[in-house]
C-alpha cells in the first residue's frame, strides 16, 4: 500500500464522503468513516478510506487522528491510505497521524511510514523519528508468534482523552485503548 492510493479516489468518492459525513456530529465522524470503509467493496476500501479521511481532516481536524485510528481498527490494511490522506491535509500533524495509525494492532509500521512520507515529503524526518519510537508489538512488524493485544497508551492519556473500541478477532474480543492525538 503506498501513497498513490491517496490520489486514487475519484471526485465522486470524495463528494459522496462529503455528503454522507456533512450531517454527522464531530463525535461520530470517526466511527461513521470506519463504517463507510468497512462497508465499501474490498477493491475500493483504500480509496474510500482516503476520501473519508480527507473530508474529516478538512471538516474537523481535531478528529482526524481518531478517524485514522477508527478506520485502521476496522480495516487495518487501509491504514496507510487513511494516514497519508490525513497527513496530506494536516502536514504539521503528519508524525502524530502516522504514530496513531502505526499503533493499531495489525497495521504495518513500514507501510504507514512509506505512505505518509510520500504524501508529505517535507515531514519525512519527523515521521521517521516519531515512528522509530512505535513499539513493534503493536504492529505486524513483530516477531512471529507474538500477540498484539492492545496498542500502547502514553503517560498523558488522561489529559488527552482515550478512544476505546471493541474489536473482535478470531472469536476473541480485544479492547484497544488508543490515545487521540
pLDDT tens-digit series, residues 40-85: 999 999 999 999 999 999 999 999 999 999 999 999 999 999 999 9
Tell me how long the chain is.
181
Q: Residue 140: pLDDT above 50?
A: no
State the pLDDT at residue 23.
Answer: 87
State the pLDDT at residue 139.
Answer: 42
88-111 mean pLDDT: 95
Amino acid at each position: 500500500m503506498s501513497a498513490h492510493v491517496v490520489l486514487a479516489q475519484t471526485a465522486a468518492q470524495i463528494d459522496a464522503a462529503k455528503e454522507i459525513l456533512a450531517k454527522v456530529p464531530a463525535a461520530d465522524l470517526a466511527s461513521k468513516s470506519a463504517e463507510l470503509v468497512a462497508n465499501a467493496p474490498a477493491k475500493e476500501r483504500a480509496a474510500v478510506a482516503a476520501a473519508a479521511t480527507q473530508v474529516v481532516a478538512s471538516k474537523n481536524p481535531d478528529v482526524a487522528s481518531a478517524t485514522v485510528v477508527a478506520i485502521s481498527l476496522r480495516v487495518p490494511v487501509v491504514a496507510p491510505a487513511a494516514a497519508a490522506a490525513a497527513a496530506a491535509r494536516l502536514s504539521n500533524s503528519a508524525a502524530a497521524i502516522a504514530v496513531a495509525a502505526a499503533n493499531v494492532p495489525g497495521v504495518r509500521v513500514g507501510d504507514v511510514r512509506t505512505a505518509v512520507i510520500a504524501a508529505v515529503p517535507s515531514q519525512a524526518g519527523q515521521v521517521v523519528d516519531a515512528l522509530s519510537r512505535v513499539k513493534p508489538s503493536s504492529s505486524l512488524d513483530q516477531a512471529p508468534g507474538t500477540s498484539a493485544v492492545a496498542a500502547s497508551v502514553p503517560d498523558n492519556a488522561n489529559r488527552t482523552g482515550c478512544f476505546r473500541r471493541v474489536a473482535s478477532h478470531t472469536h476473541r474480543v480485544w479492547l484497544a485503548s488508543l490515545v487521540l492525538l
